[in-house]
Amino acid sequence: MKTIDFTKLARPNIRSLKPYEAREIPCKVKLDANESPYSLPADKIFQAKNIINRLNRYPDPEAKKLKKTISKNLKVNTDSILLGNGSDELIYYLITAFGGPVLYPVPTFSMYGIISQACGEKGIEIPLDKGFDLDTDKMLAAVRKYNPKLIFLSSPNNPTGNCFSADRMLKIIEASKGIVVVDEAYQPFSSEKGFLPLLNDYKNLAILRTLSKIGFAALRVGFLIGDPGLIKEVNKVRLPFNLNALSQNIALEAFRRKKLMDSQIKNITSERERLFEELDKITGTSPYPSEANFILFKAKNANAVYQRLIKEGVLIRNLGSAIKDALRVTIGTPEENNFFIKALRKSAGGKK
Amino acid sequence: MKTIDFTKLARPNIRSLKPYEAREIPCKVKLDANESPYSLPADKIFQAKNIINRLNRYPDPEAKKLKKTISKNLKVNTDSILLGNGSDELIYYLITAFGGPVLYPVPTFSMYGIISQACGEKGIEIPLDKGFDLDTDKMLAAVRKYNPKLIFLSSPNNPTGNCFSADRMLKIIEASKGIVVVDEAYQPFSSEKGFLPLLNDYKNLAILRTLSKIGFAALRVGFLIGDPGLIKEVNKVRLPFNLNALSQNIALEAFRRKKLMDSQIKNITSERERLFEELDKITGTSPYPSEANFILFKAKNANAVYQRLIKEGVLIRNLGSAIKDALRVTIGTPEENNFFIKALRKSAGGKK
């Protein structure tokens, strides 16, 4: 029998690509993945008749009903919307359709870099400034030098939690001949209004949104909003049945419960302020201000604190080498946050 | 405001790419998409508790439970399995990981060509012989000339319905330095046992299966089975949460109802034999033998027959230029098939 070195057979850009690692760490309180701690009443949703019929039929390839609902909700035309199996898939499609170079500041959402490499496109990483805002000079220099086809700006940014300055973002959008994708996964938790109102002013601006952070990570529903000409090109590389029928239908039910979702978001942002104060007290260092559903904070011996929290039953995110001594905690329910605060006091010690 | 020609901004291979067209044609009896006419009792499935919990949490990125179930079912190790959001996505990942050229016979499943073009890889199309079997000489010549990284063989083949000769497939697998993917989407309807038992003999053989044809098209669950080394490379380009939580859990329920699924498959293959006889009588020409859940048949003025069937409320597939005068009908329930037969008698006339 032939032996094959599959790594050698793979495209050169794939050889060194590390798959996303999903270690499963048992915990009582899960605050590591920026999920919402709230789920909508699933039993009621599943009683809705349109969800349980016709498992044998392909989903609507155009997801017309869901697009119409999003269209009304965000006040954009349906031909400005493309739906993805999570935002991840839309990032894949954007890079497949337009290619690279792909520019993004770091630290940021890791998938911009991973997907660029998977697609064999050059990723250009420009460090954020000391306040975690965009380094305009360096970003603009990179725009001039590389003429990137795509620029990804996550605002509010993951894992830093802040929104980038709107004027800095606009400078980059104006300077770029390529497409600037503002990833607003965390926008619902922000006090700023986001870039949707600017879509009509900048043809090369596109926006990513998702249901994953506001209660529906299980579904994998992301949406890209942009110029119909842009949407048309990205749609060419979309798999026809990329959004399964159940996710389409449950997402519809989610939008019907918008008021409940909004009140859950309000709970989360109010808990964020409380947690911010507590973190300040416990660590003795002010955490980073957050416009998202998580807080980035520094702790002495962050790695040891992270490990001790796991022993206490709390899982948060250890940023490791990306930002020294920094940990990221997702905002949970008040009870989960109390559990975390208590465990952190035990684990981090310091001032009370 | 800047104007942008997004088509020009897109990669050259995307510019001429036509998106998959999903025209929606209203009908009483839908026999165009090779779906199963049977759905498992959805209400019972949705009462299963593990399906309705935790919409707010990300799905298991490794889909461990489902992989374990498939592993038992197909008698392959879990590290030989990769799950996709439909087979479509796995084809995307295979081409992203290994690149082209991509070789496949035609006519066949259209996505091999569409995805190759989307990924910017050369697709090489070799016509089937007159009996719709592989043209071994031409295929082997193409293997030598182009050294394809990937070869896709859909067996049973869509839209022709036949299995390719096993000895011809083996010659191609043996001659190829790249990977040969045998797409067994329709294998459950075939009297042949398929290529799974040969996986241990050919390291460059991989197999695609799906739940889409056997009652679960709504879910989008496909699986790739192959050497762990191959799976490892493809997994590098997989999006971490590509299979949503509901589809994972409902697929598990599907496998628990394997006996029911098997009896539905039996109904379909028995109806296929009946439909074959009827088509023979009505059209006056023997349809093409089928090992799948559809039948390809010729009809005089096929296009007109297709249009008349739509008026009668029956939607089937018009192959247009791919195979002259040929139509493809999916096997429905006995009632649906009767409705189709009656409508076809009216539409195609000819011998009774």
pLDDT at A321: 79
Q: What is the mean pLDDT of each run of 10 residues along chain A (352 residues)?
A: 83 85 84 89 65 83 96 97 98 96 97 95 97 98 98 98 98 97 98 95 97 95 97 95 94 91 96 97 95 96 94 93 92 97 85 40
Q: What is the pLDDT of residues B217-231, one digit of tens each?
A: 999 999 999 999 999
Q: Of A82, A119, A206, which Cα lies nearest the Cα of B11?
A: A119
CATH numbers and ranges of domains, chain A:
21-38+259-348 (3.90.1150.10), 58-257 (3.40.640.10)
- Residue type at position B180: V
Q: What is the pLDDT of residue A43?
A: 64
Residues of B in contact with A9 (CB under 8 A): 98, 149, 178-179, 233
pLDDT, one tens digit per residue, over B184-213 is 999 999 999 999 999 999 999 999 999 999
- Res B152 pLDDT > 80: yes
Q: What is the pTM for the complete model shown?
A: 0.95
Report the distance separating Cα A172 and Cα A135, nearest Å.
Answer: 10
Sign of CA dihedral B107, B108, B109, B114: negative
CA distance A269 to chain B (A): 17
Burial A90-121 (b: 16+ CB within 10 A, else e): bbbbbbbbbbbbbbbbbbbbebbbbbbbbbbb
Q: What is the pLDDT of residues B232-274, one digit of tens each?
A: 999 999 999 999 999 999 999 899 889 999 999 999 999 999 9
- Which residues in chain A have Cβ-Cβ distances shorter than 8 Å to B222? none
Q: According to the model, what pLDDT value does residue B133 have? A: 98
Could you report the per-residue pLDDT of B18-69, keeping only the tens digit for each?
A: 877 777 888 999 999 999 998 876 666 766 655 666 899 999 999 999 999 9
Name the nearest CA neighbour of B89 among A88, A199, A103, A63: A88
The letter for the amino acid at A30 is K
- B58 CB contacts (<8 Å, ≥6 apart)? A33, A35, A212, A217, A218, B241, B245
Is the ipTM value over 0.90, yes or no? yes
pLDDT at A351: 41
Whole-angstrom distance, CA of residue A290 vs CA of residue A297: 10
First-to-last alpha carbon distance for chain B, in angstroms, is: 67
Please give the pLDDT value at position B288: 97
Report the number of secondary-structure helices (H) and strands (E) in chain A. Answer: 14, 12
Question: Which of B2, B62, B203 is facing A22, going by the closest CB pair?
Answer: B62
Q: What is the pLDDT of residue B224?
A: 98
As given in the structure block, the two tokens for residue A267 are 């709970």
Q: A18-27, A55-64, B160-169, B170-179 — which is least confidently predicted?
A: A18-27
pLDDT at B194: 96
Determine the Cα–Cα distance for residues A10 and B240; give it in Å rounded to an integer.
19
Sheet holding B326-330, edge to edge: B294-298, B326-330, B317-318
Nearest to A242 among B2, B85, B215 (CB): B85
> Which distant-in-sequence residues (6+ apart) come within 8 Å of A198 by Cβ?
A170, A205
Contact between A33 and B58 using a beta-carbon 8 Å cutoff: yes
Between helices B258-283 and B245-256, what is the axis angle to 10°? 80
- pLDDT number for residue B52: 60
- Chain A contact for B330 (CB, 8 A cutoff): no
> Chain B within 8 Å of A137 (Cβ-Cβ)?
no
- Inter-residue contact A123 to A101 (CB < 8 Å): yes
DSSP assignment letter at A31: -
Residues B248, B251, B252, B254, Cα dihedral to 10°: 170
Q: What pLDDT score does A352 carry? A: 40
- Cross-chain Cβ contact B20/A240 below 8 Å: yes
Residue B352: pLDDT band by 50, 70, 90 thresholds? very low
The dihedral of CA B76, B82, B83, B89: what is its sign? negative
A136 touches chain B (CB under 8 A): no
DSSP assignment letter at A231: H
Q: Mind listing the pLDDT tens digit for each residue in B285-343?
A: 999 999 999 999 999 999 999 999 999 999 999 998 789 999 999 999 999 999 999 99
CA distance B302 to chain A (A): 25
Nearest 5°: the CA angle B34, B36, B41 is 155
